[in-house]
Structure 1
Amino acid sequence: MSNMLAIGASGVRAYQGALTTTSENIVNAGTAGYVRRTAQQREVTGAGAGLLTGNAIAGSGVAITGVARAADMFREAAVRTAEADAARTDTGLVWLDRIEGALTMSALDDRLAAFFNAGQAVAADPSATAPRAVMLEQASALAASFRSTGSSLEAALADLDAEAGLAAQSLTSLAAGIARVNAGLSRTSAGSAGQASLLDERDRLLGEMSALIDLDVQYDTAGRASVRAGSAGGPLLVAGDQAGNVTFARNAEGAASISVQRAGQTAVAPANGGKLAGLVDGVARVVDALAAVDTLAADFVVSVNAVQAGGEDMAGAPGGDWFAGERASQMQMVLGDPRGIAAASAGAGARDNGNIAALAALRDSGGFEDRLVEQVGVNAAAIDGRRVVAQAQDAIRTSALAARGALSGVNLDEEAVDLMRFQQAYQASSRVIQIASEAIQSILDIR
């Protein structure tokens, strides 16, 4: 009878633990990062006297050996890779859109066309002041458009620096979190609920890290993660309970890089995925666009001023500079008097239009409008290409998440069935204890 009591008691304990685990699954069905758990059970055996087999191994009940997570490291790695790839592309698209806005919102192409068209009106009647005044207004508007375009791109670059710095700080904090989880796993018993919670937190943190940079992750037998940033050959970001520090920087040429400082050494992380990789891509795109606009502005200033210097204004004096500024954001119109437009060739008189005709020729030879249109077109083509890639990566990410969810996600219908099954087993085990107790009492009553 004592065996019956022990068997019943073991069942009560085991199924109480199973009920607790199932209840945890149900309660956390909507919790981000929670992985479904199951209570692992085994038969308890021991030596005893068998009626037919003599000295044989007899069943002695059931015991919970631990809590198992329905997780798969390969599916987790697939999700991290998909997240990193999608984050890079999505981030890059944000800054390509920002470049497109900077190149088009100030209507720089329209302002260039309006300036040269105003020059043609002056050429038609060089001695009239009204066309000259209009051309001066168009020149002022053009300078403002150049400034706005250049300033917008410079502001985008400053915003990129700030956002990348914050992303690097976030990655540093997440790495420190992984180090703390590793330390906790070192002190936690295998198969315990505490270990399961720490492993959930580990995977959640790794998922957030992969959205910032692609990772190479290795695990030891205790589940502790060693994390390299960028690739398998990248710098070690987390090892044991020690984490590195991540920084973002740009060199004098504007090229951006991600570095990891750990254990007194600094190494560049070859970021191929994640938000930081997208920000590095964005920096390269903005730097190129800004350089193209600055070069366009500088060439325009030098070329127009050269044409202006080759002619005479209405007073017969050599033409002064139209514009000043070495970068787009610095461009200013410095010609303040419409009569100062040098429309005439040297010595030809105020009614001559020989020099303003040279400005029309500069429109073709300088190709300013065509260069701007080309820059806008290159950026637009990059946006279209990235959007196609983004759609494919979203599909891959969705598939990876579905595959992981099919294994580790909580299905409330299944959990409800388990809940009833374990409850019935618990009640049956309780009934075994009750019957054994009643039998023992009956024997005692006979005595």
Structure 2
Amino acid sequence: MSDLLSIGASGVRAYQTALNTVSENIANTGTAGYTRRTTNLGQVTSIGSGINASVATGSNGVTVTGISRSADTFRSLAVRNAGSDLARTETAAAWLGRIETSLTDNKLGDRLTSFFSAAQTLSADPTSVPARSVMLESATSAAAAFTATGKALDTAAADLDTATRQATQTLNSLGTALAKVNDGIARSQKGSTNAAQLGDQRDQLLEQMSTITDISTEFDDLGRATVRLGGASGPVFVAGPDAGNVSYLKNDEGAVGFVVQRTGTTSAVTPSGGALAGYAEGAQKIVAARDTLNGIATDFTTQVNAIQAQGRDLDGKAGTPLFKTGDTPTSITVALTDPRGIAAAGATGGARDASNLAALLATRDPTTGSEQRLTNMITSNAASLEQRRLVGDAQGAIRDGAVSARDSGSGVDLDSEAVDLLRFQQAYQASSRVIQTARDILQTILEIR
């Protein structure tokens, strides 16, 4: 009689756990990062005595052998890899867009064109003081546009530094959290609900880390993750309960780098995916754009001032510099204050001579002129940005597919849960009836006595 009661009681306990698991699955439908749980059941066997002491003689009920997660390691890896690729492309595209904004918002190209157009107008009547004033004003606008464009690129570089440092701080926080989860996994009973919850947290942390930089992961028998940064050959960032610290470095030339400090060792990291790789690419592009702009500004001011020096102004005096440069090549101001000082005439020409302006206009070379070089830079950046966006669209579709494939195996399907709910309810009710039947039989026996 006691066997009948214990069998029924084991069923009630086991199927109650199974029902709780199904209820938890249903409650977490659509919850980001939640992996479907399954209650694993096994029979309780009775062992014979005497010469049959080691032989199983029958079933003595049911027991819960563990709670398992419907996780797919390979599909989760595919999601992380796809997310890492997408994050790099989107981050790089964002900073290419920032460069485009810096180069176009201040209308530097239009200001250069206006300056040369004003010189063309003045060449038709070199004695016109109003036309000279227009040219001087155009020079002021061009100088201001150079200065503003240079500052915009400098601001973009500073903002990128801030964003990159914030990303490394986030990565360090995720590493610390993962180390704590690893420690919790080691302390949890394998196959328990707590272990399943920690497994979900571990996978979510890994997915978040992969959007910051490409990672390589290994799992031990307990489920603890060891994480390397920058691929399988990169330095260890998290191992067991220990996490390292990532730092962002930048030299005077604007080149960026990353290092990991862990257990007293400092190792360089070269991200090939994730936001950090996108920031590194963006920093390189900003430096290149700044260098190109500096070159255009230097050549422009040098050429204009040199042409001024070889000509004569409206009063027949030798021309003085039109532009003055500050701390950087793009920090340009107009040094000339009197429009009569524009050296329109050649060294031997009179007031109506415009040969020096012709020399100025000749610098508008269709391949090497300031306007064309600026246009080429803007066009090249725009082409790179468009390419990144197209790649990003494709990578976004790949990531969405990877997420869908993962969730199809590890996500909650309400139809399946409804079937399990009905099945375990019936099993629970049957076990309850076994207990009730055992009680009824015991009560009948007691009444006979």
Distance in 2 between residues matched to 1:168 and 1:138, nearest whole Å: 45
Task: Report matched runs for 1:101-116 at 5 Å.
Answer: 101-116=101-116
Partner SS state of residue 362, structure 1: coil
Distance in 2 between residues matched to 1:363 and 1:323, nearest whole Å: 18
Segments of 5+ residues of structure 2 without an aligned counterpart are 50-54
Distance in 2 between residues matched to 1:347 and 1:263, nearest whole Å: 77
Distance in 2 between residues matched to 1:432 and 1:328, nearest whole Å: 91
Aligned AA for 2:444?
Answer: S
Aligned AA for 2:134?
Answer: V
Aligned AA for 2:335?
Answer: V
Task: Report matched runs for 1:86-125 at 5 Å.
Answer: 86-125=86-125
Aligned to 1:317: 317
The offset of 1:258, in angstroms, is 1.8
Asked whether the 8 Å contact 2:165–2:248 carries over to 1, the reply is: yes
The offset of 1:329, in angstroms, is 4.0
Aligned to 2:355: 354
Distance in 1 between residues matched to 2:231 and 2:11, nearest whole Å: 49
Partner SS state of residue 68, structure 2: strand
Which shifted more, 247-256 or 170-179? 247-256
Task: Report matched runs for 1:209-248 at 5 Å.
Answer: 209-248=209-248
Q: What CA deviation, in whole Å up to 9, does each residue of 1:267-293 have, x standing for no partner?
A: 111201111111111111111111111
Asked whether the 8 Å contact 1:316–1:347 carries over to 2, the reply is: no
Partner SS state of residue 311, structure 1: coil
The offset of 1:97, in angstroms, is 0.9
The offset of 1:30, in angstroms, is 2.8
The offset of 1:140, in angstroms, is 0.8
Partner SS state of residue 363, structure 1: coil
Q: What CA deviation, in whole Å up to 9, does each residue of 1:14-60 have, x standing for no partner?
A: 000001111111112232211110111001111359xxxxx862111
Which shifted more, 239-248 or 362-371? 362-371
Aligned AA for 2:215?
Answer: L
- From the superposition, tell whether residues 153 and 353 of structure 1 become closer, same or farther in structure 2 (CA, over 3 Å): same
Aligned AA for 2:88?
Answer: R
Segments of 5+ residues of structure 1 without an aligned counterpart are 50-54
Distance in 1 between residues matched to 2:18 and 2:296, nearest whole Å: 72
Aligned AA for 1:349?
Answer: G
2:181 counterpart of 1:185? no
1:439 alignment partner, one of 419, 438, 441: 441
Distance in 1 between residues matched to 2:309 and 2:434, nearest whole Å: 109
Aligned to 2:52: none
Aligned to 2:287: 287
Aligned to 2:255: 255
Task: Report matched runs for 1:33-432 at 5 Å.
Answer: 33-47=33-47, 57-325=57-325, 327=328, 329-364=330-365, 366-432=368-434
Distance in 1 between residues matched to 2:428 and 2:20, nearest whole Å: 12
Distance in 1 between residues matched to 2:211 and 2:130, nearest whole Å: 59
The offset of 1:210, in angstroms, is 0.5
Aligned AA for 2:380?
Answer: V
Distance in 1 between residues matched to 2:275 and 2:15, nearest whole Å: 46
Distance in 1 between residues matched to 2:301 and 2:57, nearest whole Å: 98
Distance in 2 between residues matched to 1:36 and 1:258, nearest whole Å: 37
Distance in 2 between residues matched to 1:431 and 1:274, nearest whole Å: 58
Aligned AA for 1:391?
Answer: D
Could you tell me the TM-score, scaled by structure 2's length? 0.96
Asked whether the 8 Å contact 1:82–1:393 carries over to 2, the reply is: yes
Aligned to 1:52: none
Distance in 1 between residues matched to 2:155 and 2:56, nearest whole Å: 82
Aligned AA for 1:373?
Answer: T
Aligned AA for 1:439?
Answer: I
Distance in 1 between residues matched to 2:15 and 2:432, nearest whole Å: 10
Aligned AA for 1:238?
Answer: V
The offset of 1:347, in angstroms, is 3.6
Partner SS state of residue 23, structure 1: helix
Partner SS state of residue 307, structure 1: helix
Asked whether the 8 Å contact 2:293–2:330 carries over to 1, the reply is: no
Distance in 2 between residues matched to 1:135 and 1:127, nearest whole Å: 13
Distance in 2 between residues matched to 1:430 and 1:22, nearest whole Å: 19
Q: What CA deviation, in whole Å up to 9, does each residue of 1:344-381 have, x standing for no partner?
A: 11242222112111101122285111101110111111
Aligned AA for 2:332?
Answer: M
Asked whether the 8 Å contact 1:147–1:330 carries over to 2, the reply is: yes
Q: What CA deviation, in whole Å up to 9, does each residue of 1:223-274 have, x standing for no partner?
A: 1111001100111100111111111121122111121111122111120111
Partner SS state of residue 343, structure 2: coil
Distance in 1 between residues matched to 2:324 and 2:22, nearest whole Å: 74
- From the superposition, tell whether residues 316 and 424 of structure 1 become closer, same or farther in structure 2 (CA, over 3 Å): same
Distance in 2 between residues matched to 1:362 and 1:409, nearest whole Å: 66
Distance in 1 between residues matched to 2:266 and 2:76, nearest whole Å: 29
What RMSD, in angstroms, separates the aligned Cα atoms of the two structures? 1.4
Partner SS state of residue 345, structure 1: coil
Which shifted more, 156-165 or 319-328? 319-328
Aligned to 1:14: 14
Partner SS state of residue 364, structure 2: helix
Could you tell me the TM-score, scaled by structure 1's length? 0.96
Aligned AA for 1:208?
Answer: Q
> After the TM superposition, which parts of structure 1 deviate over 4 Å for at least 4 consecutive aligned residues?
none
Asked whether the 8 Å contact 2:45–2:56 carries over to 1, the reply is: no
Distance in 2 between residues matched to 1:334 and 1:129, nearest whole Å: 18
